[in-house]
Amino acid sequence: MSPARPEVSVRICPGGPLLVRGATEVLGPDGAAHPVTRPVVAVCACDKSARLPWCDGTHKALPGGRAR
């Protein structure tokens, strides 16, 4: 049986995003609610994403990041 409240977990990826599972929405920097539409989402942790609050890989281009 599923629990009444979904279990939310957050995993911190060193040098990368936060992996969030079980959330129904993520609030952006402006307070706007962004619905979660996939089983696991990558939330930006470097604040440089062009698609906040989601990670778009921009952290790789930052100094000390994994540029490609």
Partner 1 sequence: MRLPRDRGLLSKHVLHALQTGGSLPSGLWADHGPTADLLHDEDAQLTLWVLYELHYRGFDDAAGDLEWDPALLELRAGIEAGLERELRAATAARLRQVPDSGDVGEQLLAFVAADDGPSSAAYLQRSADRAQFEHFLRQRSIYHLKEADPHTFVMPRIDGAAKAALAELQYDEYGGGRAPRLHATMFGDAMEACGLDRTYGAYVDEATALTLAVNNQMSLFALHRRLRGAALGHLAAFEATSSVPARKIAGGAERLGLPAAVAAYYSEHVEADSAHEQIAARDICGGFVADQPGLRGDVFFGAAACLHLDGLAAQEMLDHWERSS
Rule CB under 8 A: which residues touch partner 1? 11, 13-14, 16-17, 19, 37-42, 50-51, 54-57, 60-61, 66-68
The nearest distance, CB 54 to partner 1, in angstroms, is 5
Coil/strand/helix, residue 40: strand
How many residues are given for the chain? 68
The nearest distance, CB 3 to partner 1, in angstroms, is 18
Q: Which is nearer to partner 1, 19 or 28 (CB)?
A: 19
